[in-house]
Structure 1
């Protein structure tokens, strides 16, 4: 086989798909980011439309707080209730594509070209993957979700271990415990990380291998051709901005509520909208400092700090909790997940509406709305990895860590609920349902509760900061036409408005509003990601292996 070198300097195998690097460069001159007002380095249609829309959204939501809550709630219920099958089916497609890439010849393609080498060590890479991907979510749901599914949501019709009076039904305990953990891992395992992997791989491939701007529209050159640099591309990038911003706002809202609950639990600081707004404002200021320091000086350092604190807290729970049960439960929970993942993934013919619509379809929409942010962030730090290495690490390793986290935190909480009718976690999840307190309720029944609760608050806040600053870098790159060195003032704009959107949604409807906007932006972006699956295969077909 002979090779010829394209204008981008990447060898093109003879007989490869008719998708060569020279083609990609046509029309890019019309897409280059331009210097705009106030020194902003923007591609005007994307920045102006998305920026002005977000400013108007914040203003209107704050101006009509009393009216928008019911609208957000109705919107969320309509989307998750009627389109749950679409979200679940799409999630399955993303997992199957990733598994195919691991075992296919495409797995030998190297991101950045055959001579590329990794920019970061495995530890730094994993730290940034994990901190950006799920930090706040694991803190908020790590205790809440396993207990809730075991006690209430009846995934696949498995009955609750409690009767109407809250008494244990012994014969239901084992099945309910196994399903509670399997259902939780289903939401935090292969499916969400497959969504992230699809976006990250697409961005990395078309940016580092094809020489296109690091922005979502570049992925769709095989679909739209030269129209990628016109309004079809503008719309894709604008959708990516909206999805990223509202997905982040959802996480920031969860983080603010949990941090406020922890401060009340430890220090007696009252839970209120005012406290949460102050928290969001304060943490946004810290995120601004990190944003101005850039990827290596800010996000990477905070991510590694995050990993260290999270690992220490995880080890404490394993040692102070039911250690033997956690260790054995880790393998048992993987087995339960493997056994139940296909039935849980079935988008049709199921009767567990509360679980499927209230949890799974929301989660999938939330992960998809986060995917431009996490995917672009992962792409930026993954140059030099092979496709097989990339997909395996992004898909498998975070899933294993998520299983360990949920087993330690959720398994400890389930044991407390089943063995102590007066446990605080039982009070916060089952009796009074205060989800933001569930983590602190579990820690309260372990030694050094005050100290570990403070550590948990710090961890939530640092996850909060890393999500905000890395999200700002991603949105900044999208609205600057794929550039990664846009002016600092532009990053400051997006970081500020991430906080303002979270505040507006909290005041205008609470968690329901946050969830509604995540689902609303996740829906159109699901279609975008399905098209990206085709583009990935088309792009990989033209790469030397």
Structure 2
């Protein structure tokens, strides 16, 4: 029997009689939307085969496409990112902020702490582990361009490095996620449409969203999600293996990396079988607990007064530099601008279908104002605290000539461990960091599997267990096969392919803003 996402009372506008899973077929115990599932699976299989046969050619072609999209449409990414931030802030203060997702009587499914833990873990928890140390050090030492042409290795350069790092992990990425998440949550819970990307365009396209146009939108979302997750899993396995080698002398080779992928995939499968409450929520809460302990340790192991000083520096630099960093006209720091900022914006957009749909799925019962505050402002505050603890601590070590980081940024996957090495209890904290990296990958994998399940099941949220297992396994297979057959070059090709999808999705998100506002006006 077809089941629809539980929703609030439908208004007369933007309401379709189309039911979640209406056009599905039953295949090998799976409940699939045939055009989306089949086309996505074939595209993924084709890419894997071609990437294994022609790894160098695939890398050149896809990296060429990524470079072209970033350098040609840098203005679109930047304008889009700024619009998304202003749009989300506007929703917090306008009367539409009172609209409750699911109707006036809807109640949240999760506590605020569990809700925030899940959205943060899915959104960028792993990225903060990887880049909170490496990125400020890279900017400060001019490893690949300095923000706003700030002088490297100077106090001004340190302030610019912290401000630019916050810029890349603050309001803009979360606004991108927030647009997609709100669109899906509103049209699913308030209008009764299926939980799938195409539903957000019903105000603009009407019943045509259930046809070929909608299929294309959902297929792009599936490919962006699976490629992004597989890339992160493969590169993350390399990072975790590097950490194990750095700490315990475990050889960092393909066997170790494949073993890590298998272990992460196995736990992710167990989690997706248990579902949101028994799997993703539990792991996300564990994640935030470990992350909180590690954060407090770094603050107190360093200098508490120094931390608050660094926090003021980070927030102040972010506030003063956000406008010039958001500008796209006449930039003279081109190496930093295209190599970091525009690249990041394309990456965040390519991840938005996955993260946005997952946030939507766990956000029923929240008002638009509460939703946007939690999705946009609170993660930005937490990121500032995290960066002030880890990133500024790393810059203090570099400026003080302490440890390996002071010799320059080498392997970025080791930057976190090199920073922790110069604090007390280094082996314990580094082991915690490795656990945290792996658990963040697991939560990304299982939440991503649940999202792809929903898209390829025509918007149903109760896809059969074999279907959940299929996508969780496929992520690991893609990462492992490409890593084994083509090494990091194949994974970088996959990453370039995922980032390239950010270009069409930026346009999709801009239209999504129009859909959201048109829909919310019918509820006020």
TM-score of the two chains, using structure 2 as the length reference: 0.95
Instruction: Please give the secondary structure, in 2, of the residue aligned with 1:60.
Output: helix
Q: Match for residue 80 of structure 2?
A: 90
Deviations 1:351-396 (A, max 9, x none): 1111111111111111111111111111111111110110011100
Whole-angstrom CA distance in 2 between matches of 1:68 and 1:10:
49
Q: Match for residue 151 of structure 2?
A: 159
Q: Match for residue 139 of structure 2?
A: 149
Deviations 1:246-270 (A, max 9, x none): 2222322332121011110111122
Q: Alpha carbon RMSD of aligned pairs, Å?
A: 1.7
Q: Is 1:72 aligned with 2:56?
A: no
Contact 1:424–1:444 (8 Å) recurs in 2 = no
Whole-angstrom CA distance in 1 between matches of 2:340 and 2:167:
11
Contact 2:30–2:467 (8 Å) recurs in 1 = yes
Q: Is 1:118 aligned with 2:138?
A: no
Instruction: Please give the secondary structure, in 2, of the residue aligned with 1:25.
Output: coil
Given candidates 417, 420, 425, the residue that maps to 1:448 is: 425
Q: Is 1:359 aligned with 2:340?
A: yes
Whole-angstrom CA distance in 1 between matches of 2:459 and 2:20:
13
Contact 1:428–1:435 (8 Å) recurs in 2 = no
Shift of 1:96: 0.8
Contact 1:253–1:514 (8 Å) recurs in 2 = no
Whole-angstrom CA distance in 2 between matches of 1:110 and 1:265:
49
Instruction: Please give the secondary structure, in 2, of the residue aligned with 1:259.
Output: helix
- The size of the alignment, in residue pairs, is 513
Note the 1:449-464 alignment, pairs <5 A. 449-464=426-441
Change (3 A) 1:261 1:473: same
Contact 1:127–1:304 (8 Å) recurs in 2 = yes
Change (3 A) 1:194 1:529: same
Change (3 A) 1:263 1:59: same
Q: Match for residue 377 of structure 2?
A: 396
TM-score of the two chains, using structure 1 as the length reference: 0.91
Note the 1:361-400 alignment, pairs <5 A. 361-400=342-381
Contact 1:423–1:445 (8 Å) recurs in 2 = yes
Contact 2:8–2:191 (8 Å) recurs in 1 = no
Shift of 1:66: 4.2
Contact 2:114–2:281 (8 Å) recurs in 1 = yes
Q: Match for residue 179 of structure 2?
A: 198
Q: Is 1:534 aligned with 2:511?
A: no
Q: Is 1:516 aligned with 2:496?
A: yes
Shift of 1:124: 0.6
Shift of 1:30: 9.4
Whole-angstrom CA distance in 1 between matches of 2:286 and 2:238:
22
In structure 2, stretches of 5+ residues that fail to align are: 1-6
Instruction: Please give the secondary structure, in 2, of the residue aligned with 1:340.
Output: helix
| Higher deviation after alignment, 523-532 or 272-281 | 272-281
Shift of 1:76: 2.9
Whole-angstrom CA distance in 1 between matches of 2:86 and 2:226:
28
Contact 1:424–1:445 (8 Å) recurs in 2 = no
Q: Match for residue 237 of structure 1?
A: 218
Given candidates 232, 237, 252, the residue that maps to 1:271 is: 252
Shift of 1:514: 4.3
Whole-angstrom CA distance in 2 between matches of 1:238 and 1:278:
30
Deviations 1:197-244 (A, max 9, x none): 101000000000000000001110111111011011111111111111
Contact 1:245–1:498 (8 Å) recurs in 2 = yes
Whole-angstrom CA distance in 1 between matches of 2:199 and 2:10:
20
Instruction: Please give the secondary structure, in 2, of the residue aligned with 1:483.
Output: coil
Deviations 1:447-476 (A, max 9, x none): 111111111110000001000000000001
Contact 1:243–1:518 (8 Å) recurs in 2 = yes
Shift of 1:129: 1.1
Shift of 1:328: 1.8
Change (3 A) 1:79 1:253: farther
Shift of 1:348: 1.7
Change (3 A) 1:264 1:302: same
